[in-house]
A and B are shown apart, each in its own frame.
Chain A
């Protein structure tokens, strides 16, 4: 588009900022629930897997449920740990 000044006019929306500054404790408290939830899910998977092995010889029907739960928590844990252990970069001013 040419306006009267003879220059091209482009209107753009202002984008989101690339970097933001906050407190270290606030950033920690923002992402530590993901970390803890991932650890919780991993431990649930381990406990349910062990319970499934024990129930296999006593209550096979329950052991199936236990193994299903173990696999569920094992597959879901990276969705939490992955947020916490991201490669996103930070800058600390020492």
Chain B
């Protein structure tokens, strides 16, 4: 038969007991998965682990709806548009109208800069970031 004082003493012992600390190997790390859309105070998204398949990863590199999307495919796409616009600039300058040629010259420069920016962003910066994959 345990008295109320014994129970109180047991509770006090439990409260001040030295709990065994787990070793670093046993400790778990909280890793937020996915993007909740929440933002930090400075407006940047909360850092999270994006959990995806290899198919989605390759798709994210290949499929781009437009050149501003910023992936490997957009580099090639912008380079292709650059060549097309350069050819059209030369053709329109000599055989159509130099005002029309100016429009294509503008587009040539736009796509050249798109190519450079997308390469710097998607290939150099994004590609240089770490990726954890199955060995």
Q: Could you tell me which A residues sit within 8 Å of B by CB distance? A: 16-28, 31-32, 35, 84-94
Contacts and interface: CB of A to CB of B under 8 A. Distances in A.
A14 to B, nearest CB: 13
Nearest to A84: B58
Given A25-B123, A94-B47, A94-B49, A85 B54 contact: yes
B134 to A, nearest CB: 5
Interface string B38-74: 0000000101111111110110011000000000100
Interface residues of B, number: 27
Interface of B: 35, 45, 47-55, 57-58, 61-62, 72, 123, 126-135
Contact of B54 (A18, A20, A84): A84
Contact of A91 (B49, B58, B128): B49
Given A17-B135, A22-B131, A24-B131, 16 more contacts: A18-B134, A23-B128, A24-B127, A24-B130, A28-B61, A28-B127, A86-B53, A87-B55, A90-B131, A90-B132, A90-B134, A91-B49, A91-B50, A91-B133, A92-B49, A93-B48
